[in-house]
Amino acid sequence: MESNQAQAAPRSGQADFLSRLSAADADDLVRASQRKLFAKNEFIFKAGDAGRHVYFLQRGRVKIYQPAPEGKDVILWFCFPGDMFGMAEVARGGGRVVHAQACEAIEVLVLSQTELTEYLQTHPAAALLIMQVLSDRLRALGDVVVNLINDDAQTRIIKLILRLATRYGVRVDQDIHLSIQLTHQEIADMVGATRQTVTSVLSLLQRQGLVRLENRRIRIDSLELLDGMTSSG
């Protein structure tokens, strides 16, 4: 396979729900739902809440993470405009198990469980799309598990960067810029390492000229080299 992907890959991850919906279906969704705003750092919902609503993100970024009493929080994924979240608990019933927190000021569409059911019955294509999104996330999580079990900290971090790059990367000249700001602590919470380990691995990679870190943004100098580093260095 070529490594020469033109720009942000269309593939992978919890792929953008809204943009894959037909225009008519999307219009109906907007009509059936309610618009809502949240401030930066505000929680859309928290673990333990009842969880009777689904959200479609229109603007901003949302962090989905699972708190562990007496342990480290684990960031499961981020949602970007077009993404859906809160679906799992609505489908299966039971309360929320994760926190959903706005990383910045955001705008969402909200549907209650009954509104959603109604919408899905009249829009079967949307139901299939939801299955796709859930399946995507399932695979992504499966990959994370395999990663955690098989790879050392450095490899886990590199693979995380590569994963983020295919989904949130933007090509700028030779480099790929990630359209995400992440602290070392957040990265640590995603790969299951400590903050210190992330710091030292990242500065190592930077010294080797594989990535550049500017103001909490990651820039990748060479995808190929980075790819080659996994579990070999």
Partner DNA sequence: CCCTGTCTGTCGGCCAGCCGACATTCGGCA
Partner DNA sequence: TGCCGAATGTCGGCTGGCCGACAGACAGGG
Contacting positions for a second copy (CB under 8 A): 66, 68, 70-72, 74, 76, 87-89, 91-93, 97-98, 117, 120-121, 124, 127-128, 130-132, 134-139, 141-142, 144-146, 148-151, 192, 231
Least distance (Å) between residue 90 CB and a second copy: 8
Q: How many residues does the chain have?
A: 233
Least distance (Å) between residue 135 CB and a second copy: 4
Rounded Cα distance, 163 and 216, in Å:
17
| Cβ neighbours for 82, distance < 8 A, ≥ 6 positions apart | 16, 17, 18, 19, 56, 57, 58
Contact 116, 127 (CB under 8 A): no
Burial of 180 (0-12, 13-18, 19+ CB in 10 A): middle
Of 130 and 213, nearer to DNA (C-beta) is 213
Stretch that binds DNA, among 47-55, 60-68, 163-171, 178-186 (CB under 7 A): 178-186
Of 22, 135, 179, 183, the one binding DNA by CB under 7 A: 183
Of 16, 111, 197, 205, the one binding DNA by CB under 7 A: 197
Q: Lay out the site mask for DNA across 117-156 (x = CB under 7 A, - = otherwise).
A: -----------------------------------xxx--
Q: How many chain residues are in contact with DNA, going by CB under 7 A? A: 19
| Residue 166 C-beta-side C-alpha neighbours within 13 Å | 16
User: Edge-to-edge, what's the strand order for the sheet holding 53-59?
Assistant: 34-38, 106-112, 53-59, 84-85
